[in-house]
Amino acid sequence: MILQILKDYGELISITLIPFIIWWLGSYFQDRKSKNEAKLNLFLSLMANRKSTPVSKEWVDALNKIDVVFQEDKNVRIAWRAYYKALNQYQPNYSSQNAYHLDLLAEMANSLGYRNLKQTEIDRYYTPQAFGNLLDNQDLLTKETLRVLSNSKAYGVAFSPEELEERLQDLHGNRSR
């Protein structure tokens, strides 16, 4: 009789506790998985844009997320602080910012379990010549457009020499302010 009552209470307790335990374990592992995915996505974003010229907004955004995403990884945050300081052009270690950048990416890789990824591999980056040519052409087009617009009243209508001189003085006067 007592054995039957204990068995019934045991079943009742297990019926009520097992779903709660399963829910708790599921939410714990889901939270852990989402944090690891956020770390991996941030790392991959930094890796993909590590030597982009000009610097992409995605890369800057990823850098600004490091303190949140890697909040529990002390080594990554220390490496991030060192790299952040090296990004300031007035700091003495500005010229060696690439070394700090590699240290940061190596710490992140280590934190994510990529322990065999060497800094020389992290530093290797491919960009086709066509991308460089495209940037050069865009730069040339921008400069030419600014030159034409700065030296014209309207499209196809040039300034007189006196108007051009006045326009140049206005442009240079506004930039120094």
173 and 108 in a common domain: no
Q: Which among 6-10, 48-52, 91-95 has the top mean pLDDT?
A: 48-52
Query: Which of 3-12, 122-131, 145-154 has the weakest average pLDDT?
Result: 145-154
Identify the pLDDT of residue 65: 96
CA torsion angle 22 25 30 31 (round to 10): 140
111 and 141 in a common domain: no
Confidence of residue 175 (pLDDT cuts 50, 70, 90): low
Q: Which 8-state DSSP code applies to residue 53? A: S
Query: Which of 84, 100, 126 is at the close of a domain?
Result: 126
Q: What percent of the chain has pLDDT over 90?
A: 33
Let me know: does 122 contact 109? Beta carbons within 8 Å: yes
Let me know: does 148 contact 142? Beta carbons within 8 Å: no
92 and 42 in a common domain: yes
Residue 3 has pLDDT above 90, yes or no: no
79 and 40 in a common domain: yes
Q: Domain tally for the chain?
A: 2
Let me know: does 108 contact 43? Beta carbons within 8 Å: yes
Backbone angles phi, psi at 151, to 5 degrees: -110, 15
Which domain does 21 fall in, by range? 2-126
100 and 37 in a common domain: yes
90 and 138 in a common domain: no
95 and 49 in a common domain: yes
Identify the pLDDT of residue 177: 44
142 and 84 in a common domain: no
Peptide bond before residue 54 is cis, with ω within 30 degrees of 0? yes
Q: pTM of the full predicted structure? A: 0.65
